[in-house]
Every structure is written in structure tokens, then in C-alpha cells.
């Protein structure tokens, strides 16, 4: 897994856009007390469920892999 140049910024963008996506769909309401880890996992699972992105193989799922996958997704957004 090759690290993206600005992966930290892309992860932040992915969290922001993923939160908007989930709230627009009406499936989630994020609280200020939710940790970034919880948000990343929920957003990743929601996007995979909606078939917006390909899932990571079950034996390779980790927080780092989910962040990377979300960063790639965010890099493709306008």
C-alpha cells in the first residue's frame, strides 16, 4: 500500500464528505463526541455497503487500510 502525498488532508476531507453523505442519506447523525476512528470505520462501512467503493479483503481490514481507502475516495471527489 503506497502512501499518498497528502494523505492526512485527504483523510480529513473524506471524513467531512463522508459525514455529509451519511447525514444526507438519513442513516446517521454524528455527535461531537464521536472519535475520528469511529467516524472512519462507519463511513468506510457505509460506502462499501452502498457500493461506492470496493471492500478491503476481510483479512486485511485495519484502521490504516480504511484511512488509505477513504483518502483514495476523497482524492477522486471534486
Q: Measure Cα distances from 63 to 25, 31, 33 in Å.
A: 24, 20, 19
Residue-by-residue pLDDT tens, the chain, 78 positions:
777 889 999 999 999 999 999 999 999 999 999 999 999 999 999 999 999 999 999 999 999 999 999 999 999 997
Alpha-helical runs (H) found in 2-76: 7-25, 36-49, 63-75
Provide the 8-state DSSP code for 32: T
Q: What's the rounded Cα separation, in Å, for the pair 52 and 46? A: 9
pTM of the entire structure? 0.91
What is the residue extent of each domain of the chain? 14-24+34-75
Amino acid at each position: 500500500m503506497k502512501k499518498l502525498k497528502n494523505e492526512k488532508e485527504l483523510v480529513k476531507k473524506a471524513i467531512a464528505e463522508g459525514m455529509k453523505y451519511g447525514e444526507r442519506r438519513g442513516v446517521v447523525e454524528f455527535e461531537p463526541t464521536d472519535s475520528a476512528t469511529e467516524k472512519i470505520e462507519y463511513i468506510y462501512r457505509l460506502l462499501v455497503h452502498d457500493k461506492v467503493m470496493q471492500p478491503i479483503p476481510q483479512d486485511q481490514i485495519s484502521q490504516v487500510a480504511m484511512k488509505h481507502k477513504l483518502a483514495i475516495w476523497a482524492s477522486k471527489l471534486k
